[in-house]
Amino acid sequence: MKTYRRQIREKILQALYTIELRDTDIDSAAGWLLTKEILDDPNAMKFFNVLIGSIKAHMSEIDCYIERHTFNWDMSRIAIIDKNILRMALAEILYCEDIPPKVSINEAIEIAKKFSSTEKSSKFVNGILDAIFNELKTEGKIHKNGRGLIDHSTAKLHK
């Protein structure tokens, strides 16, 4: 049976939520959430490991982007679910080269609707991610190529 990326994103969100509430590391928090279906799917495990590894390795950088775009909001005041949805989407945008940024943003919005802390969570997530994405695009920090992805190649620039 094929494992869908949304299921994996939801598992990662649950792991991130767990580490916010308990004194545990991300690997322990994520380990018990992996189903047999995910464990038996090599592509699912690859996506899981890349995404959770990116979040773990770049959490402080990701949090800086969030802090810059949540004016007058301390990170501790952002709902745990919303903050971790933002972290996950930004890790995808920055470090998963095969996923179009708009897909990452749309997935984050849909997950925010499902797990939202308030009715406005999905709008909050959308606004913050859109602002950060536009900043990253302007600064040339997104390097994605391929169908449906941003292409910064010189061939595209000359067209």
Domain boundaries, the chain: 4-139
User: CA-CA distance, 109 to 66, in Å (whole number)?
Assistant: 16
Q: Is residue 91 a contact partner of residue 58, using CB atoms and an 8 Å limit?
A: yes
* pLDDT tops 70 at residue 47: yes
User: CA-CA distance, 132 to 138, in Å (whole number)?
Assistant: 10
Q: Report the candidate in 30, 26, 60 with the shortest Cα–Cα distance to residue 44.
A: 30
Mean pLDDT over the full length of the chain:
87
* pLDDT tops 60 at residue 154: no
**Region of residue 72 (left: phi > 0; alpha: psi -120 to 50; beta: else):** left
Res 152: pLDDT? 45
Per-residue pLDDT reduced to its tens digit, 122-132: 999 999 999 99
Q: What CATH architecture does domain 4-139 belong to? A: Orthogonal Bundle (1.10)
Q: Is residue 137 packed enough to be buried (19+ CB in 10 Å), middle (13-18) or exposed (0-12)?
A: middle
Where do runs of H (alpha helix) occur along 70-120?
Answer: 80-95, 101-115
Q: Report the candidate in 85, 82, 35 with the shortest Cα–Cα distance to residue 55.
A: 85
Longest dimension (CA), the chain: 53
pTM greater than the 0.75 cutoff: yes
Res 155: pLDDT? 38
Res 157: pLDDT? 42
